[in-house]
Chains A and B, each alone.
Chain A
Amino acid sequence: MIIETVFTPIEAIAGGALIGLSAVVLMWSVGRIAGISGIVAGAILESGDERYWRLIFLGGLFLGALIAAVTSGALSGVTPVANTPVLIVAGLLVGIGTRMGSGCTSGHGVCGISRFSLRSVVATCVFMASGVATVFVIRHLLGEGV
């Protein structure tokens, strides 16, 4: 379903700056890439220290999100844009795709591009194009479709 939203430049700039700062703090402190798909996968599949720092980072992520949500109201009224069967297929695609492609919007899109990694520039262009094509198909070819 299509839920209209408006361009929110101030919030986008403030949030983007915090995400960039997070990536720099993580690299400065423990020398790691703030790629969320890799951090989530490692928190599930690794063990020992490799799992431990990722769990702490994810704990912080939830804490920061919770504080921001409560103080800004940014999550009020947020609902899914697809039904449950579509979300299951989408979740599987995101899980498999981010592992096969070694990263997601944060790992490739923010951390990789800012290190001038060609792989990350290519991956970001490809997943953006794939996302745009997918939304074009479901909204403009299938109607509101899913």
Chain B
Amino acid sequence: MNRWVVLLAGALFGAGITISGMGNPAKVQNFLDIAGAWDPSLALVMGTALLVATPGFFWVLKMSSPRYAEKFSLPTKKDIDGKLLLGAVLFGMGWGLSGLCPAPALVAILTGIPSFFIFLAAMFAGMFVFRFVLEPQK
């Protein structure tokens, strides 16, 4: 593994979230308010990311293996099951309430505002709950 390339990928991601304004939960919540103070910025962020990632993945996944790893680690599940749907519903509710999804939640703590840290702690707690209480067999 080339740790500098992974660090660079992380830095590009963090810079992208920040520059796009997605570190601001007001912009994200306003994107979801299509009946009110709609701010379409998030759609353009996601659309542009897809315009870059779609041909990028097409090209990268033609390689026999990644540059610094033995193989590509791609999701193997194919079925649309209840867990996928319920998980997406619950995530969407939390996203709508707070204007925060995982990457912006990390970026937002750079403001130093205590309640952003509390959100992040609750998100970690939710991940623990799923791992050890809701699905302890794995």
Q: Within the complex, what minimum Cβ distance (angstroms) separates A118 from chain B?
A: 7
| Cβ contact within 8 Å between A41 and B127 | yes
- Closest A residue to B91 by beta carbon equals A97
Please, which residues of chain A bring their CB within 8 A of the CB of B40? Answer: 7
The 6 nearest A-B residue pairs measured at CB: A95-B126, A101-B87, A15-B20, A60-B10, A130-B92, A91-B122
| Cβ contact within 8 Å between B16 and A97 | no
| Cβ contact within 8 Å between B119 and A2 | no
| Cβ contact within 8 Å between A13 and B98 | no
Given contacts A5-B30, A45-B127, 17 further A-B contacts (CB under 8 A): A5-B41, A8-B27, A21-B16, A23-B52, A27-B72, A28-B56, A57-B6, A64-B10, A65-B110, A74-B19, A94-B100, A99-B131, A102-B84, A119-B79, A122-B85, A134-B93, A138-B97
| Cβ contact within 8 Å between A20 and B48 | yes
Question: Can you list 23 contacts pairing A with B, beta carbon distance less than 8 Å?
Answer: A2-B36, A15-B22, A16-B45, A16-B51, A20-B50, A23-B13, A25-B9, A27-B61, A60-B9, A68-B14, A69-B23, A74-B21, A78-B26, A91-B120, A91-B121, A92-B122, A93-B126, A94-B94, A94-B102, A101-B88, A115-B57, A132-B32, A136-B33
Q: Within the complex, what minimum Cβ distance (angstroms) separates B49 from chain A?
A: 4
A1-48 at interface with B (beta carbon < 8 Å): 2-9, 11-34, 36-37, 40-41, 44-45
A100-121 at interface with B (beta carbon < 8 Å): 100-102, 104-106, 108-115, 117-119
What's the tally of chain B residues with a CB closer than 8 Å to chain A?
114
How many chain A residues sit at the interface, stated as a range, is 35 or more
Please, which residues of chain B bring their CB within 8 A of the CB of A101? Answer: 83-88, 90-91
- Closest B residue to A145 by beta carbon equals B97
A69-99 at interface with B (beta carbon < 8 Å): 69, 72, 74-75, 78-84, 86-99
Q: Within the complex, what minimum Cβ distance (angstroms) separates A59 from chain B?
A: 6
* Distance in angstroms between the alpha carbons of A46 and B90 in the assembled complex: 24
Please, which residues of chain A bring their CB within 8 A of the CB of B48? Answer: 12-13, 15-17, 19-20
Please, which residues of chain B bring their CB within 8 A of the CB of A117? Answer: 75
| Cβ contact within 8 Å between A127 and B45 | no
Question: With A81-B25, A95-B123 in contact, do A110 and B66 touch (Cβ < 8 Å)?
Answer: no
C-beta contact mask, A131-145 vs B, less than 8 Å → 1, else 0? 111111011100000
